[in-house]
Amino acid sequence: MFYRENGQFKTTYRADQQIFPIRQDRVFIALVLILSFVVIPLVATDYFFKAILIPFLILSLAAIGLNILVGYCGQISLGTGAFMAVGAYAAWNIGVRIPEVPLVVQILLGGCFATLVGVIFGIPSLRIRGLYLAVATLAAQFFVDWAFLRIPFFTNYSPSGAVAVPALSIMGFSLQGAMAKYLFVLVFVVVFALLAKNLVRSAIGREWMAIRDMDVAASVIGIRPMYAKLTAFAVSSFIVGVAGALWGYVHLGSWEPLAFDLNRSFQLLFMVIIGGLGSIVGSFFGAAFIVLVPVALNHIPELLGLPLGVDTASHIEHMIFGALIVFFLIAEPHGLAKLWSIGKEKLRIWPFPH
């Protein structure tokens, strides 16, 4: 009875095409935004910001980027970590060599470099698909791993191989506090999520989905597979690169190539699968899930009086993720996002069963 659309008639196409056509959804999103921008900064602890919220937000952003490539355009990628790395290292190099460049511009330029690399490694997608494309993206992952490890130019000849960012500030405001960092990242994520949502519901989004669903038919309509695939790689890599720069700058502070290795790529792919392929909001669900499970595994057994060793917890984590991937692929390929929308469907007719 709360979620009815009664009386909400759309009289213009513009109204029908809004991101949230149902009023209750708009209210819900407004509440979420108020919660995120106002309530949480007032009540959350530093630990909560640093260990949960900030990683969750940045990984959500990366998941949105990956979802565009895998979920909307159907091109599999196992090398996302590499693109995050390019974003992070490129931004850092700019910051070190041309320190006058403002922070936000550094991060965005990092994204641009990631776009370049992404398009290059996306070229094979024009000829190969599926498993074979996965192998090509793995080549990207390993090559980039090596490049940032062994080519001293990229780390500005740092003796330890690790790089670090100086204290962050934006237009004179220091971003050293956890809450400031959180808000900084939150703004990025909200803006990019909006841009991504706009893209996927426009002509380019339909092109991507057409390529995903049936690329021969797509070319018959006049869609150019090359343009669609390369733009998917480009947009995806840009977002992932920005996320990588944020990860290095805001979450880690200092890092080595290991921060962006194959495990990271798998982690992001899992987020996208569990959260829901082809869904922007699903990317958030997936990221939340992946971030929260280890935290839960660390704290819940203690609360129940059955302490788990760190090792065992990590093994159980692997087992849970692995089993869930299989479960979602079998039962609900559209992941948590689909479960969410099924829940909403049920809510629309509540309290009636159907």
* Residue 1 in the binding site for other proteins (CB under 8 A): no
- With vertex at residue 208, the alpha carbon angle to CA 207 and CA 211, rounded to the nearest 5 degrees, is 85
**In Å, how far are 77, 160, 161, 212 from 206, measured between CA atoms?**
20, 47, 43, 10
Q: Which of 29, 195, 292, 342 binds other proteins (CB under 8 A)?
A: 195
Stretch touching other proteins by CB under 8 A, among 108-116, 178-186, 214-222, 244-252: 214-222
d(CA 181, CA 55): 11
Positions in 23-42 near other proteins (CB under 8 A)? none
Q: Which of 102, 130, 177, 253 binds other proteins (CB under 8 A)?
A: 130
* Residue 213 in the binding site for other proteins (CB under 8 A): yes
* Residue 212 in the binding site for other proteins (CB under 8 A): yes
Beta strand pairing call for 163-164 and 254-255: antiparallel
Positions in 60-79 near other proteins (CB under 8 A)? 74, 76
Stretch touching other proteins by CB under 8 A, among 2-10, 127-135, 175-183, 242-250: 127-135
Mutual angle of helices 262-275 and 335-349, in 10-degree steps? 20
**Shortest approach of other proteins to residue 129 CB, angstroms?**
8
Q: How long a stretch of residues is the chain?
A: 354
d(CA 227, CA 278): 19
* Residue 224 in the binding site for other proteins (CB under 8 A): yes
The burial class, CB within 10 Å (0-12 / 13-18 / 19+), for 258 is middle
**Shortest approach of other proteins to residue 353 CB, angstroms?**
21
* Residue 54 in the binding site for other proteins (CB under 8 A): no
d(CA 354, CA 3): 14
Chain centroid to CA 48:
20
Stretch touching other proteins by CB under 8 A, among 45-53, 141-149, 290-298, 341-349: 141-149
Stretch touching other proteins by CB under 8 A, among 25-33, 112-120, 195-203, 345-353: 195-203
* Residue 325 in the binding site for other proteins (CB under 8 A): yes
Which residue's CB is nearer to other proteins, number 19 or number 164? 19
